[in-house]
Amino acid sequence: MVLGRSDRRYDHRHVQHLYGAWPLHEINPEDKPDPIKYARKTLDLRGDQNYSAHGSLHRAPARARLKDGPGVYNDLLKITAGTWCGGP
């Protein structure tokens, strides 16, 4: 089944659609710069969905591979700043 634009769910925390970026190295700024902006956009649209930090732990290495320093920082900050699991 092909989902229409209005049926797409971007708030899920998993990022298996970016397997080519991480852990593989098929999508990377050095060899294929064109898909990078789209890969970053999908990461920006991903939600946290719950307070388990699971999504941020998946997004951070993918963002690192895409050379998205601010994105890596924001994902790691969510975990280390205590905003998960009932933190401040």
CA distance linking residue 50 with residue 33, whole number of Å: 32
pLDDT > 60? residue 7? no
Q: pLDDT digits over 28-72, tens only?
A: 888 888 888 888 888 888 766 666 677 888 889 999 999 999 999
Q: Give me the DSSP letters along 17-55.
A: GGTTTTTS-SS-TTT--TTHHHHHHHHHH----SSSSHH
Work out the average pLDDT over 71-85.
79
Residue 3 has pLDDT above 50, yes or no: no
Residue 2: the pLDDT is 45
Instruction: For the chain, give the number of residues.
Output: 88
Report how far apart, in Å, the C-alpha atoms of 88 and of each of 59, 81, 82 are.
22, 8, 6
- pTM for this entry: 0.73
